[in-house]
Amino acid sequence: MNFTVFGIIWLILLFISLFKGIKWSLSLLIISCVFQSTALINTDSKGFSIFLFTELFFIIKYFKLIFRDIHKFIIPLNFFKYIFIFLIFSILGGVILPNIFEGIKVFVPELGIDENYYIGGKPLFFSSGNIVQMIYLSLNILTLYLLFFLRSRYLYFFSIKMFIFSILIVVFLGFWEFLSKQFGIYYPTDFISNNAGYALLNDMVYLDQKKIVSTFIEASFTGGFLAAAFWAIFYIKTLWAKIFSFFIFMALTFNLSGTGFATFFIGGVILLILNKKFTYVFWILILTLILTYILIYSGYYDIIKELLITKSSSDSGINRQGSNDFSLKIFYETYGFGVGLGSHRASSFLFTIIACSGIASIFLFIYLFKIIKLTYKEIFKDNNFIYSGVVFRFGLVYLIAQILAIPDISNPTFWSWQFIALLYIDNNNLNKKK
């Protein structure tokens, strides 16, 4: 076990955060969500992410609030109850279900989807993976709860700016990585993509074109993030937002992820339907024409077309769909109870959760529906705030990416937009800070 160079620097920042104000801690928490391929500590075959340690330090710093205002913690407010119920069922199910249904075939998370598909899965048994996923989920929800308690519009506005800054980090490092792969420019791969379990994915290639992975563990995760980030930024009513969204789209293009492009188009259509100001249709058409011309001129248009046409019929596409079908089979074989959190991993968030948590997953989906609905309402409550709607658009589009091809509930990006949303939701009775 050894500390990475990035990890040592980050650990110093975390210790400083214990003696600084909440803005410092909040900044580290949000930024850490995008460094998925970056480990603070590595073992021989596994790395522990900076996101995990950032959550731990955040909880250590603010856990005292539970004892100071315990009456506010006993009864969680409204929609937040659903995710607590999901947590309780997930912990119980993670311990009990692998023992009850021991021996049935599952796609174990330790193997890739392709390998699981070819061998037909492996027998279920209780493992350390179940415990790890229960710990991760508990830490994520406890962090959400602390942010919910600390919520204020002041912190909400600040956190959105930090979230946009984290998008800038991903795009900047993505272009740097792209230039490195194309022209041999130095890129600090060993410094950023240093997780012992994921670092090699930085060299992914499609049709002789190397993919942008940036700070994530694989190209589809990057693509889903960039697609959601594009629509989150594009609707901001400033010139810099339109320019920034253009660069995000170019990064998405060089990412060459079928997940990214599918998420981009589906998310764009849904947001266009939800948007009440149809002047955006004109701007989207103009931007589409410009981007199409650039893609055709650069040669990436044919690559993207080939990617979208052949993806579903490729071995990878067939195996991914097979993993989702296998998840439904698990759901039926366990009578709707599932096999426990951390026991099975498909290619989709939806199918993975259904197979692992069974009917209890309905509480998670109710919570997500409510938080998306509440963040949508904030657009109209603070329509004079130029960043209004960023969290709603990102969260909605990123959920589409997860349903398509990002399975992990422990994925930091899944929690990042919720961290920000919880800082503002249901705080109408709080004092507003200027």
Cα-based angle 120, 125, 131 (whole degrees, multiple of 5): 120
- The first and second tokens of residue 416, run together, are 């990042």
Q: What is the 3-state secondary structure (H, E, C) of 210-225?
A: ECCCCCCCCHHHHHHH
What residues contact 137, with CB distance under 8 A and at least 6 apart?
87, 90, 91, 341, 409, 410
- The first and second tokens of residue 38, run together, are 């970056």
* Gap between the Cα atoms of 402 and 414, Å rounded: 8
Digits of tens for pLDDT over the chain (434 positions)? 789 999 999 999 999 999 998 999 999 999 999 999 999 998 877 888 999 999 999 999 988 776 666 555 555 566 788 999 999 999 999 999 999 999 999 998 888 788 888 888 899 999 888 999 999 999 999 999 888 888 888 888 899 999 999 999 999 999 999 899 888 889 998 899 888 876 444 454 433 457 889 999 888 899 999 999 999 999 888 889 989 999 999 899 888 888 888 899 888 888 887 776 555 555 565 565 565 555 544 455 455 555 555 555 455 667 777 888 889 999 999 999 999 999 999 888 999 999 999 999 999 999 999 898 888 877 766 656 678 789 999 999 999 999 988 999 999 999 999 999 988 776 544 444 43
What residues contact 35, with CB distance under 8 A and at least 6 apart?
6, 49, 50, 51, 192, 215
- The first and second tokens of residue 434, run together, are 């200027």
SS3 at position 140: helix
pLDDT of residue 210: 74
- The first and second tokens of residue 208, run together, are 């002789």
pLDDT of residue 1: 77
Alpha-carbon Rg for the chain, nearest whole angstrom, is 21
Long-range pairs for 43-47 at CB < 8 Å and ≥24 separation? 43/1, 43/196, 44/196, 45/196, 45/197, 46/196, 46/197, 47/4, 47/194, 47/195, 47/196, 47/197, 47/198
* Gap between the Cα atoms of 7 and 12, Å rounded: 9
The residue length of the chain stands at 434
- The first and second tokens of residue 209, run together, are 């074109």
Say if residues 39 and 194 touch (Cβ distance below 8 Å): yes
What residues contact 167, with CB distance under 8 A and at least 6 apart?
34, 229, 232, 233, 248
* Gap between the Cα atoms of 341 and 345, Å rounded: 9
Q: Pseudo-torsion of CA 282, 381, 242, 214, nearest 10°?
A: -130
SS3 at position 106: strand
* Gap between the Cα atoms of 20 and 2, Å rounded: 27
pLDDT of residue 389: 86
* Gap between the Cα atoms of 411 and 220, Å rounded: 13
Q: What pTM does this model have?
A: 0.87
- The first and second tokens of residue 362, run together, are 């309905």
Say if residues 96 and 340 touch (Cβ distance below 8 Å): yes
pLDDT of residue 374: 85
Identify the residue whose tokens are 């700016």.
161
Q: Which residues pair with 206 in a beta bridge?
A: 209
